Structure 1
Amino acid sequence: MATSSTSGTTYSIAHALTGHGGAVRAIADVHGTVVTGAMDATVLCWDVVSSAPKQSIYEHSHWVTAIVPLDAAHEAILLSEGFATGGMDTHVRIFTRSDGLYTCVAVLKGHSSGVISLSWLQNPTTPQLLSGSWDGTCRGWDIASQTCRFVLPDHENGVCVLGLPNGVIATGSTGKQQGNQVVDARIRMWHAVSPTEYALTRTLSDHQGPVRQLVQVDAIGFASCSNDGSIKLRAADDGAVLVTCQHPLNHEGKPGFVLGLAYLPQSQHLVSASEDSTARVWSLDGTCVQTIDHPSGLWCVSALANGDFATGAEDKSVRVFSYRTPRNDALETALATQVAEAHVQAARGPSAVEVESLPPYDMRASQVGKSDGMVQMFRRDNVAWACQWSAVSGTWLDIGQVTGTGSGGVVDGEAYDMVIPVEIETPSGVKKLEIGYNQGQNPFTVAQAFIDKHLLNPSYLKEIADYISDRSANYQPPILGDRSTSASGAPAVSPAPVASPYFPLRTYATFDSAKIAKLLATVEQFNTLHPVLEGTDLAQLGALITTLQQTSYYHSSTITKSQVATVWKLLDKWPPTHAFPALDLVRLMLVHPMGATHITDTTAVLRHAFARDAADATRFLAIRVLVNWAPHAPTKLVAQIDAVASGIHSSWPPTASWSKPLALSVATLWMNATLALSTGRDDEHSAAAKIVSTQLAELLGGNLDEEALGRVLVAIGSLVRHVPFGGVESMDMVWIRQWRFPRLSRPSRQVYCAAKSRHFRRLRPFTPSCRTYWLCWTNPEVVAWSKRGVNRSLECTKALCFSLTTVPSLGPSRDITCCHMQHGWRRQWRPPRLFKRVGMIEQSDGAPFRSLSL
């Protein structure tokens, strides 16, 4: 790790805190407890000594971007220590400690966009909390009454705030887009006219980029940092610049954005956090006394009470640096290794092909972002340049140059881990082509897709697959033959985990189709039975339905809080027998980019779902609300797994009597839950994983059509392969129970499965000689059947069989045997008796079944 110091005080890494599922955006020291907020919408309270979280808080529905400890006056008023948070859900929350845990005691609402900065303002009576937001305002809050006392308006987009000891308020803005640059990033000084009124007394425009943070500097005034790479030390009364610290220029002659700043009173140093992956320690005369490299860009830095400081990074980590503790060689070595690997990755840079395929930077104004916060790359001076869409200003805000997209580049506009050049001899000459490959993909699958794309001779398959395997050094193709010998006669190696087209699940499924036109009529009809909405309410509802119908305008249309409140009136007042139109509206609102910002609580949804007299439509639409909610609030979905499972068990009939829409909805919910679980930590999500596995087991005995069965299999495979805590062992294989043969309606489109055992045998070679396949877990077995080709569900079953062989917890004695047979079709078909021993029907001649795309 590159770290250098020119002063007597040298900081070294003392602790590395990992556990967030997103980039760390905010850090605060609350009486010795490090509290962090991240882009996974969680707050973690850390025991720094053990580097483990003491508490996880899931109150937020969007990124947590600001944290500040309660001041002494409010601790006395609230009789507890605590902290305040701000997030992109537009709210400020107050947390206090009770029985050793922090709980939310107040939610301050008033901002119309994300809250990105918090500070305390001292006054003669009670300190007030300042909040800065992307809505262009600073608000002053009275915590005791939970009211907004004043608003400082008319800032340029995002606002950072600071209350100074002399009662002056300093605010900074991120500026506005004008042509190809950001202009009018300003610092404003506000003086009190009355307790609830502040006058603007001075405006400063000495930063050439967005102002990102303001921090108090004892006995001097305050300091500001900016995207222009500078830190300016200022006088408290008028904000005049006393000293400027300038980040060094990169190879393009530009400084890194300085996104965070902290003042260390014990050592009298400033520490800056930059997107160039460095934390820099500055003396108050403007000299950089130490540079500490990180493996990824930094979002924030915070001073700790003991003189240390902590950084929050894009790589989801918090690192604590200290000058008091002895050097930790293990942590230093680990950090140095991470930094070196990051430098190698960054040095490769985006390929010329990739950059050329990007839209021009000068034309970005003609493109509209699909949602607030969307990141888009543009071509600027022959480099890839990232910008973020601001829905408030309707402009693209600069993030910075893209330094790499993996070790390879782009093929046909899609980025890959590796781009492998290949030359193919054809009758017309030698073709020079490129193969895009991601680590973990099956080389045979990639090779076959490459052959199909370029209409090449199928005989090239093995040669191309072997070439891909040789070039991807860390990849080993699956050995589907007998473990004792490989196909070539060479000693076989254990198969490495390989990619499956079905799992682990990587994207959330949603229900986004609807007959919206009929919704308003249905609501009006039910409103005559249960009068809840009046004329203005119906007008709000009509406007909402119009917005939801116009899907092509989702990038620019809005959903208002009053429209959401109107729908919630229906959920609160209508009985479960008639609530399904309202639930359908909630489901559709979650498809709209703005819908999730207004829907943060699903209590009413769960109440209708598990009411004893709920209609079937109410049940499956309530579950579909949770399905569509999952991409926006995965941590909250995980927190509700137990409640949902308990409600299903206590309030619903057995799974065998469920309607197919209900079974499909629940299968999709548990499938999404496995993806949400995959981002968690062992200690918190293992219990939830067991609950999900139990629910999946019960679903297998239900009324499943082919699509629902496929989703159940994907969920099982994802739980085995992707959930990081114990895999199969965490499930205790509770889903390996008897799978019932459903009624034979359309046999050519069904998959039949049966399972009775937790024991597995070896995966053996088999070559399909017909279009009907049998797969069995023996002792006793699992049988899966499909007629006239392999459909999606059977492919999922095959992939699941192979997936289990790649899970280390199974061990060498718990593998799988795959068999196949040809079975004649009869009009009155009955499942044959299950296999009683391994290899009862087995074909060993020929090459292994390479088309298993696992």
Structure 2
Amino acid sequence: MSLGSSSSFKLSAQLGGHSGDVRAVAASSSTPIKLLSASRDGSARVWTQGSGGRFDGEPAVLTAHTGFVNSAAWLRTGSGLVALTGGQDGIINGHSSDPVSGEINNAPDYMLLGHLSNVCALNVWQAEKDEESYLVSGGWDLTARVWRDFKQAAILEGATQAVWAVQPIGPSHVLTASADKIIRLYALPGIAEDIDDPDKAPSIEPCATFVGHDDAVRALVSLDSNRFASAGNDGNINVYDLPAPLPGGKPLSKPISPVATLSGHTSFIYSLSKLPSAEILSSGEDRSVRVWQGTEAAQTITVPAISVWAVTALPNGDLACGSSDHVVRVFSRSSERQADAEAQQAYDSTIAGQALNKTQVGDVEKDSLPGSEALTTPGKKEGDVKMIKAGALVEAHQWTQGQWVKIGEVVGGVGSGTKKLHEGKEYDYVFDVDIADDAPPLKLPYNLTDNPFIAAQKFLERNELPMSYLDQVVKFIESNTEGKTLGQGASEYVDPYTGASRYQSNASGNAGASGPGGYTAGSNVDPFTRSETVSKPKTSILPQRAYLDFKNLNTSAVKSKITQLSDGLKDQGVTPELQTIAKLLDSLASSGSGSGPLDLGALEVLLQRWPSDSLLPVLDTYRAAVLRPITTPRETAAQIVLDAARWSEPWPSDAAQAKARDTNSMLALRAIANLWANATKEERDRLAGRVETVSMSSSLSTNTFPKLSKNARVAYATVALNYSVYLTSNLGSVAWAGALLDLLIDILSTESGEPEVAFRALVALGNLVSAPL
């Protein structure tokens, strides 16, 4: 069997820069070729092919999403390319290209709203006439959606779990693949008039279904006008014939089975693509990209990462993949585009030196393994793995392109990083929780990015269990996750005021506030985007009833910073109760609710006495602490942080003072948002009675708001949103509803381009409209 090319794929480039798993890659059909990568670090990147055909330049970085970015696609329009990204925030962003330079705009030109949860799949039907092209998206809200001219044109329903993949089939049909193991075919409506109201987009049921997978279906690719392939968690690639003619009205009565199955992967398959040579590409949890010709694997490319989340074919016959080690890699059959011999050797050495967990290769009985003599026997097929004894080590070798290639050394232990599925969605853990001897265990899904308190609370609410179990469930999560966290790394930020410490609030967050000197404070995590079970989708996201908050605190860094600042302020006679504050920080670090409410008196003394440019760690601690029960009345705490930030005073003209004011204002606003988030009904009623904290627009509406940094404005809009959430759950008139309306109008008329500020303000405005006043 001859390959479509006489040579095999070899490394061309390794594109670094992401700080999280690369979940999607997409290649443009333009010249030069552009690669779009989407990552769990909250960003997408655009890599442009250089004059030598390699991707050796700096990428454009797109940071419009809140939360993970999980899907990517390109759309060609009459005015140029549009980079499309879908995220955990349920939003699809479209970034246009400059018509002259071809550079991609950092700020999105289009924001497509409709999905109620994570958008995990994007694909485009590119018609000869650009105006007839369309976009398809799939999400965790159990739907796929069709978009024409950046407006929602159809909602594809029928899936009972998350829609993981979408594939256009010409101008009139779309395939979707779901975690419910079923592939569905839909007949689209014709190109109609522009749909200005998303609620008017028609809902469509499938006209045919395809079966044959034993687990969630994660990937689709069109092979030609008559066939397509699918793959998923069962490790198989199925090939199907499309019905002829394609159904358009009455659905087919019988599901369709595959005509061929391609086997070779040893774990989940996450992605499929097709080369110009018609060969199929696949990638998955077994550290590999595989090239298929017919039903046989022609080449296995090993990647030094556990998960190869995505693979895409390039128009020039190269391929690119994104993986869990945060890297995008390009492989080529063209010697002109392949890396030099030194880079190839270094890559091969990296592969050979990988430590493979037993969970990746199966149980190993070292005493029964053969020695290196076993490598004289050829493999049975491309991709076969053989383990041998090499002294005290166990080596894994893979049969690739007619020879055995070392792919790593097998080590013990557990925890390969494989994602678990629960109700069609991915989680780092899915625990079995036994609540009674005579009852089946309950499922507790948990991601390392989740707050254990929130996960525990949702688990108890979902299973109608008493909240008195909250601490017990939190401790269960913490003990079973063994303290693992995502995204931890060394801080690169220096305190903007003293330069003497590397303290940054929320050192592990990448979405916090950023100001001069690289300061970040708190996590800008949006509760809208949390991975949670979504019921049958509705046509509206309003009213929004969940309070937003700002979690996460680097307690050890805060403690060090407060001690350092205290030493510097001793001459001024300001000596804090360091022992009391240390105990408070220890309590916050423990994640347990403790025996009673927190006493914040020591912090409140510092907020009153310390100078403004030293309040950063104090306000940040106060912000995190008010997520717990506290002894200070919440309405009083709101006023305390506003006074500490000098909220009612004119904006300072001195640059250093203005920087301190912005940082303190942001933290004060985040603290007020948090005061709402974890309060009792009585406490919220008292907060609602304090008109001062919502009528703050009087000092911000025209003068101060534009001077605030992006993250301070996001915090400001979050406070307004939380006030609107209160309105949605309280019958009767609220005296300050009119003031809140004026505030939201001020925000929307003043905001200069940060979509997250506008989005939260618009949701708050929608809450006002739908509130039972």
**Which structure would you say has the larger Rg?**
1
Normalised by the shorter chain, which TM-score bucket? Answer: 0.3 to 0.5
Q: RCO higher in 1 or 2 (8 Å CA, sep ≥ 6)?
A: 2
TM-score, length basis structure 2: 0.47
